[in-house]
Amino acid sequence: MHVAEDRFLRYLQIERNASELTLKSYAEDFGSLHDYLTQRVGHITEPGQLGISELRGYVSYLNECGYAKTTIARRLASLRSFFRFCQREQLVEGNPAKALRTPRVGRKLPKFLTTEQIVKLLEAPPANEVDGLRDRAILETFYSAGLRVAELVGLNLDDWDQDAQILHVFGKGKKERIAPLGKHATKALDNWVAVRKPEEAAPPQLKNALFLNRFGTRLTTRSVGRMLEKYIQLTGLDQLISPHTLRHTFATHLLDGGADLRSVQEMLGHKSLTTTQIYTHVSTQRLKDTYQQAHPHAKVQD
């Protein structure tokens, strides 16, 4: 099993340009399967030794362990992809995971900030400190361009076209897209770059990073998360806010402002329009809430 899994992960990395996060998720899913096999089935060395009965037992095991439906659905999707690869490589004759039923997962509406909340957050970093200028530039860039956190920390200086006020962003699968920047984000980036000091001894790929840590090298996704937590506590905002919440806020505010769905899809870098449509549900729900609160006949009077 391990040999086939390693080949599959190399295929994802080299041929599909999968991100480190995607590879890590697949590896974790394989680890979960091995835990089940060790405890309940026994030693299995080849993917061809796994059949539908073993995989159904694995699904029951995940349910017994109390995993969320979303986690189970993802792990089944990983297995289907793995066995499709094994079929292509003639390691198995069929795809036993194809017959597994995926649990129905209700889509949760994404959490987002109101205009007042996002302004409060953007103004939280101190403008008289180097770290504050960097943090303000990060938050403004998140909100202005709707980036994923991995996309943000992966930005280099030459990805920012200052004259055109755009970013060249490399998203999932190394797919490039153009992200426009507003005046506030452009000004915040100007202020940050003016005080930005890379570590001279650092390799070029680290020294060229747009956002640097206190050691003068590329900022990590974990550092961005900790930075955001600090300002959430400082402003008293909801503790459940994450870097991805700012991406949700970007998309929701665009649609509320009249942007068309296709444009928002392109700016977010979504492969499918269906993924972007979740934000129309958010806007529709806001309209309903406003109607319920404001219209005299919206509620039945006692």
Q: Vertex 220, ends 272 and 146: CA angle to 5°? A: 35
Q: Is 161 helix (H, G, I), strand (E, B) or coil?
A: strand
Q: Is 295 considered catalytic here?
A: no
| Among 148, 218, 248, 253, the one annotated catalytic | 148
Whether 244 is catalytic: yes
Amino acid, res. 201: A
Q: Concatenated DSSP letters for 216-278? A: SSBPPHHHHHHHHHHHHHHHT--TT--HHHHHHHHHHHHHHTT--HHHHHHHHT-SSHHHHTH
What is the C-alpha separation between 139 and 134, in angstroms, rounded? 9
Closest CA to 139 of 205, 172, 209, 187: 187
Q: How far apart are CA 55 and CA 47, in angstroms?
A: 11
> What is the rounded distance in angstroms from the CA atom of residue 29 to the CA atom of residue 110?
25
| Helices marked H in the chain | 2-14, 20-36, 52-64, 69-88, 115-122, 130-145, 149-153, 183-195, 204-207, 221-235, 243-256, 261-268, 273-276, 278-294
Is there a catalytic annotation at residue 247?
A: yes
Active-site residue, from 279, 288, 291, 295 = 279
Cα end-to-end span (Å), the chain: 66
Q: Which one from 80, 84, 207, 244 is the annotated catalytic residue?
A: 244
Active site residue 184: no
Closest CA to 166 of 185, 153, 143: 185
> Does the active-site annotation cover 262?
no
Give catalytic status of residue 136 as yes or no: no
Q: Of 168, 172, 177, 230, which one is the catalytic site residue?
A: 172
- Give the residue numbers annotated as catalytic, written as ranges: 148, 172, 244, 247, 270, 279
